[in-house]
Chain A
Amino acid sequence: MVVEIGPSNIESQFALDALRQGIRVDGRGIYDYRTLKIACGPTPGLVEVQLGETRVLARVSCEVSRPFPDRPTEGIVQFNAELSSMAAPGFDSGRPSTQEVAVARMIERTVKQSRAIDAEALCILAGDKVWAVRVDLHFLSHSGNLIDAASIAAITALKHFKRPDVTVDGEEAIIHDPRDRNPVPLSIHHTPICVTFGFLGDGELMVVDPSLLEEQVQVSSFTITLNAHREICALSKAGGVPLDQEQIDRCTQLALTKVEELNEKISEAIKSAVPDTN
């Protein structure tokens, strides 16, 4: 059985020693993200995010479906985030580890439960036909901080996606072929983005965007999800050492500036996306 082996003692010790002097193993500053690359398209809703060596692919798709009986005027948003052995040796899609479950749950909370997608705008014929939008997140390479990379990929893909246009004529709904009529973007309420902090040592050493080694050594982590309106959409501090109230405040302030930068990068990426040839 392939088991992910943690870092050696000297790697862990070195990461801490360096951090105590304010430097990180990969040469970054403690408040720096790794290099972020967002590639959109050419197909609408296909986005690959590269955060350092971490890679996540997001794919948004849709199909016509029947609405749930208790919500006849709302579209359906389905979500799928599963870690496979592509991302790192030892990941097994059959038996997810607690870490994998945590990542998938956080992303789902960020994108789906924060109601970023306008579900009512996905209704075609009340009680009969609605759009079912699917977000598939494929983790391609795990080099730390999957959550932030996945949240950026998911929200960019939703903004980049276009669904076929529909005309409703009485009881009939005509779904237009993308070649006949230009597809339309989804109605997105807001763009929640995760910013993750790792805490090392006794919790006094904080880093933004922890690398794989930092994740393996950290004693606690904290993820804050914010949108461009400076609203908090989700918070997660699952276990680990207790943190000071002040540290959380500091994280929130930092996250606000980070989210602003990330939002700009997302908008830029969508603007410079390769156009679909079809």
Chain B
Amino acid sequence: MQRPDRREANQIRSLHCMLGQLSRVDGSAQFSSGKTSVLCGVYGPIDVKVYDEKLDRAHIEVKFRPDIGVPTTKDKWVESAVRSTFEKEVLAQLHPRTLVQINLQVRENDGSVDATAINATTMALVDAGVPMKTTVAAAACVVLKDGSIVADPTKEEAELAVSTHTFAFANGSSDGPLYVDSRGRFSMAEYNRCYDLCRLTCDRILAFMRTALESKIQKESAISAV
């Protein structure tokens, strides 16, 4: 089956990442996959409201704003998905009684926005220097009516899908997923094929993240070495 943008079934759109372009936050990243683009600004560790204060760890807060319209329960759902993905990966116990605040702003949503939001969050947290157990990458794919599976779907492709699958994986040796959201109507055989595809995609995204961070860090360290 030919994809509207002539991509191969397992091909993702071109990735872009800009780091630290916001001046008021402690760390920021803009992560894009094709036209889908999410900006993330992170503060932390900063002062926390008494209401949210935790005596043994940092409180992690996620705010997600859509590109069009005011935030709704759909956006609360994404906030919860992002928070649950990072809550156990951020070393929150190193900064008790503080807040790590993750602000996400969709610049444009052309499909796979949940995965892009997770990727933007990873890069912004790393840019802010918030200690993390691992680097997280997320990817999405869909199963179409003819049973074919395509990676990194656009909005148009997602609307035609029988099922959509979003996975997040961690940098390192472990094989298992950090986050799974598979929905629609699907079989376990299809789930497993989607898992394998997203696992491969995430490895490529992790490699991309590493390159993006390396070039930034090398630029900085070259200066301080002189």
Contacts and interface: CB of A to CB of B under 8 A. Distances in A.
A and B touch in the complex (CB under 8 A): yes
Interface of A: 1-2, 42-43, 46, 48, 53, 55, 57, 59, 61, 80, 82, 84-89, 93, 134, 136, 138, 140-143, 277
Given A43-B35, A87-B24, A140 B69 contact: no
Interface residues of B, number: 25
A88 B35 contact: no
Contacts of A277: 35
B25 interface: yes
B24 A142 contact: yes
B62 to A, nearest CB: 11
A59 B67 contact: yes
B57 interface: no
B24 A134 contact: no
A86 B103 contact: yes
B67 A140 contact: no
Contact of B41 (A2, A86, A134): A86
Contacts of A84: 63, 65, 103, 105
A80 B23 contact: no
B200 interface: no
Nearest to A53: B23
Contacts of A140: 22, 39, 41, 105
Interface stretch (B43-51, B174-182, B203-211): B43-51
Contacts of B89: none
Interface in B93-107: 99, 101, 103, 105, 107
Contacts of A134: 68-69
Given A57-B107, A85-B43, A134-B68, A42 B23 contact: no
